[in-house]
Structures are given as structure tokens and as C-alpha cells.
Structure 1
Amino acid sequence: MTTEKQLLAQPKKNYMNEGQLAFFTTKLTTLREEIKVHTTSIMNELSSQEHEFDELDIATNQEENRMRLRLLDRERKLLPKIEKSLTMIGDGSYGYCAETGEQIGLLRLLIRPTATLCAEEKNRQEHIEKGYRK
């Protein structure tokens, strides 16, 4: 298995070669399974909580549950992005910007393996969004 260091040391002409695609397939598949296990764990924690009668304990539990639910929601939203990325690996479009067709870059994909936009395009879109929010 290729390491991140080995991946980054490869020449740019080897971008999204078979080894790199295998690396990201493994990374995404592992992430998907970790999220499924973590989601199940959170759901079990939420359903098996004991009822508290002290107001401070109730407030603490409510805050902890709120944080767990936010994390659960975030992870559930990530699952379709992972599936989309795995599909893109299969069709050969993984690693390329959905808007410009440029390489997203290995470093960006290591940080965010579900990225579909290169950094420049993402920055451009965020800049436009900021203009609409004002």
C-alpha cells in the first residue's frame, strides 16, 4: 500500500494513476466504514441513556445530545459525498475539478478526499457567495 508521503513524491505526470486511485479508494472506503460504525455507536448511546432528575444533569445531557446529533448529521451528509467520490473513481473523473477540469491536487485530496473542486474554483465560489450574503 502506498503511503501519503510516497503519493506526494510521485511525479505530476502520474496524476491519478492506478496506484493513486487504489489509495483513494481504500481511504474513502475506510472513511465510509468508520462513519457507519461511529453513527451506530452514537445512535446506541442516544437510545440507551438513563433519565436524569437533577436539572444540571438534564441540561448537561441535553447539550451533549445536541453535540452528538450535530456530529451525526455532519457524518450522514458526508456519506453521499463519499459514494459520489467512489463513483467518480470508477468513471475516471476523480481528482479533477468538476467546473474547470483542472487537477484538484493530491494534497487537497489527502485533506478532503471528497473534494470535487480545485482550490482556485472553490475560493472563487466562496468569494461569490460572500458577495450574496452582504
Structure 2
Amino acid sequence: MTEEDLLRQPPEAYMNEPQRQFFRNLLLAQRLALQARIDEEFQSLRQQEVHSDAADQGSAEEERHWQLRSLEREKRLLDKIDQALERLARGDYGWCEETGEPIGLRRLLLRPMTTLSIEAKERQELRERHLRAD
């Protein structure tokens, strides 16, 4: 099934087996690509040179710091993909965890790991902004 096929399906087909399979394949492909990037980054970190010049050493350490932060973000994303795959297996995928309403195919295509509908996400962001303002 293509994205176009997915979007042409009637509303009552929401999260039927072909749609779940589409998102399972999408998530697995994203997981595979992300895991390859993580493995590549780890390999790069292992092969870093030791510099004798203090300036070079400082630059290399700064680069290593940014690589580690990037790896942490990618690891969190990998965890979110795994959680989405678990929701698919349970049959909860595609439904807002706050309201129980459908998240929507277009939103899931843009953010396949999302757990909130657009409206629920907007409310969450509004609450967070309100808490920060206090």
C-alpha cells in the first residue's frame, strides 16, 4: 500500500489490518535506518584520534560531546519507535492516548510515533507554556 492508497481509504477503514501493516512497515524501516545511523556514530566515536595539541584536543572533545548528545536523541527516538511498534501489536496504535479518538492518517504519516491527536497535543503544549509562565 502506498501513502496515496492509504489516504484514499474511507474513514471507517481506520486502523484496519492493511493500514496497521503499512505503519508497521514504515516504523520498521525507520527503525532500521536509525539503528544504522546509531551504529555508524558509535563506530566513529570509537575511531577518534588522540590529539597532542591542546586546541585540537578541545575541539575533538567538543565534537565528541555533540556526537554523544546526538546519540542520546537518536536513542530516545529509537525507544519511541519501539513503543509505537508495541502499540501496534496491542492494537492501540493510531488512537490518542488522552482522548481515545483517532489520531488521523495524515498526522501519523508525519509523526508515526505520536501518541496524541493534534488537539490533544495543542492542549498539552498550552499547559506546558502556562506552567513555564508561572
1:109 maps to 108
1:121 maps to 120
C-alpha distance in structure 1 between counterparts of 2:12 and 2:66, whole Å: 44
The Cα RMSD (Å) is 1.5
- Listed one character per residue, the Cα deviations across residues 37-78 of structure 1 (whole Å, up to 9, x for unaligned) are 211111110111112234553344333323221221011111
SS at match of 2:93: coil
SS at match of 1:99: coil
What TM-score do you get using the length of structure 1 for normalisation? 0.90
The one-letter code of the counterpart of 1:67 is: W
2:43 is the counterpart of 1:35? no
For 1:1-134, what aligned pairs fall within 5 Å after superposition? 2-134=1-133
C-alpha distance in structure 2 between counterparts of 1:13 and 1:30, whole Å: 27
The one-letter code of the counterpart of 1:72 is: L
C-alpha distance in structure 2 between counterparts of 1:60 and 1:11, whole Å: 55
Identity over aligned pairs, percent:
43
How many residues of Structure 1 are paired with residues of Structure 2 in the alignment?
A: 133
C-alpha distance in structure 2 between counterparts of 1:72 and 1:83, whole Å: 16
The one-letter code of the counterpart of 2:38 is: T
**Structure 1: gaps of 5 or more residues:** none
C-alpha distance in structure 2 between counterparts of 1:45 and 1:98, whole Å: 38
**Structure 2: gaps of 5 or more residues:** none
Runs of 4+ in 1 over 4 A off after TM superposition: none
